[in-house]
Structures are given as C-alpha cells and as structure tokens.
C-alpha cells in the first residue's frame, strides 16, 4: 500500500483564518509555506517508490499533540497536502476525476504529530 507521511502538525482552519485577518498576505504566505513542506514529503515518498493509482479515495490519519483542535479544523489542511502532492508530481490534478473521496481518522501522538495519507483500494471499501 502506498503511504505518504508528513511530520509535524499542519495549520488548522482557525489558524489560517487568523492569518488572513492579521495581514493581507499572511494567509498566502502560510499556504505557500505548508504546500511546499507537503511537497517535500510527497516528493521524497515518490522518490522512494510510493505511487497512487488515480482515481482513488484517500485516507488521512491525523496525529496531533493533543485533543484541543476540532476534527473539521484539522482536516482543512488537506488543501496543503493535495496542493503539495500536485507540486511534487505525485498527483496530476486534485479534481474529482482523480480523487473520488476522503476518509479521516484522528489520533493523539504527543511525541510524533504527523499526517499519514494512504490510498484506499477497492478491496478496502467492500
């Protein structure tokens, strides 16, 4: 199974909104920074032989330091991940022709926060 692991916690929707309101360019800078970070991890995985069979569903497992952030705010970071996948050449486009659905799971790992992105194969849906 193909899996990309991005170390650390990505910004939540609330953090992104706060940046938008603080400065005209702050949210764009934040998006650019975290898209580039996700791209680095995606490219490293791709170079190690990770391939996804498009179209497919993606499973995101979000490991955070604690339970303080709401799940919907955490999952907002998919935007950074998918744009990073495109930038790294792992994904041609993040439209619905390539991505047919998402599954999100949430867990706490205070020592190793991260997001793991797996391809959900047909067998796993049955």
- The model's pTM is 0.92
The whole-angstrom separation of Cα 103 and Cα 101 is 7
pLDDT tens across 11-43, in order?
999 999 999 999 989 999 999 999 999 999 999
Distance from C-alpha of 45 to C-alpha of 55, rounded to nearest angstrom = 19
The residue ranges of every structural domain in the chain are 3-125
CATH class of 3-125: alpha beta
* Positive or negative: CA dihedral 113, 119, 125, 126: negative
> Angle formed by the axes of helices 26-47 and 13-22, to 10°?
140
Tokens 């706060």: give the residue.
18
66-114 pLDDT tens trace: 999 999 999 999 999 999 999 999 999 999 999 999 999 999 999 999 9
């Amino acid at each position: 199974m193909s899996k990309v692991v991005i170390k650390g916690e990505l910004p939540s929707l609330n953090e992104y909104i706060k940046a938008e309101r603080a400065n005209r360019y702050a949210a764009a800078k934040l998006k650019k920074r975290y898209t580039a970070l996700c791209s680095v991890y995606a490219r490293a995985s791709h170079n190690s032989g990770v391939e996804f069979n498009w179209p497919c569903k993606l499973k995101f497992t979000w490991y955070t330091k604690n339970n303080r952030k709401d799940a919907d705010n955490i999952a907002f970071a998919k935007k950074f991940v998918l744009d990073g996948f495109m930038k790294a050449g792992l994904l041609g486009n993040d439209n619905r022709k390539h991505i047919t659905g998402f599954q999100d799971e949430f867990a706490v790992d205070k020592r190793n926060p991260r997001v793991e992105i797996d391809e959900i194969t047909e067998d796993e849906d049955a």
